[in-house]
Amino acid sequence: MSTDGDVMTDGGRAQQREQTRRALIRESRRLFAALGYGAVGLSEIVRAAGVTKGALYHHFDGKAALFRAVLEEVQQQVARTVAAAAEAHDDPWTQFTAGCQAFLTASTDPDVQRIMLVDGPAVLGWNEWRALDEAASAHHLAEALTTLIEEGTIAPQPVAPLTRLLSGAMNEAALWLAGSADPGDLADTRAALSQMLEALHVG
């Protein structure tokens, strides 16, 4: 039987483990965003996080696993931004277009571009990256499109290919904007996205 002191000790250890994990993800994200996955070593990560390599391997089986956790965090952050933009509206069509625009804008953040769009597919492989993308954003995009088709706002059509076309277009636009030196390109791209989405609208 555990004593109260043992329970508190276990709780303290669990809290410390979580703090270590959070520190590793936080510092890895900062380094991966600034330097790119290939230029960051585990020694640099543990030094920045103030932990040992043993502590790192307690949570992650290597740099790729740590990067995967960072990527998941970035994707979830973008998904929350999209959801907040959509939920600010009541009309399903406006929710959809606001969410798409929010995704494009959020994806132009240099840290997000580097981790989610550039290094993500290269480090994890296309299939795993797509599975994570599906869980984070493509699933919600498909749900929104399904709702709009069911209510007649978008013409009846298969949802899966339309989801991939829109998702691919927005990801590609974000990558293009990453290499753009013209600050007006974001506004032009948002306008082009608006026109592309409006072409789907039949209501």
pLDDT digits (tens, 9 = 90+) for 123-172: 999 899 888 888 888 888 999 999 999 999 999 999 999 999 999 899 89
| CA 13/CA 197 separation, integer angstroms | 50
- pLDDT computed for residue 23 by the predictor: 95
Contact predicate 180/196, CB 8 Å: no
Please compute the mean of the pLDDT values over residues 77-94 and round it to a whole number.
94
pTM, 2 dp? 0.84
> What are the backbone angles phi and psi of residue 44, rounded to the nearest 5°?
-65, -40
> What are the backbone angles phi and psi of residue 49, rounded to the nearest 5°?
-80, -15
- pLDDT computed for residue 1 by the predictor: 43
- pLDDT computed for residue 183 by the predictor: 83
Neighbours of 18 (CB within 10 A): 11
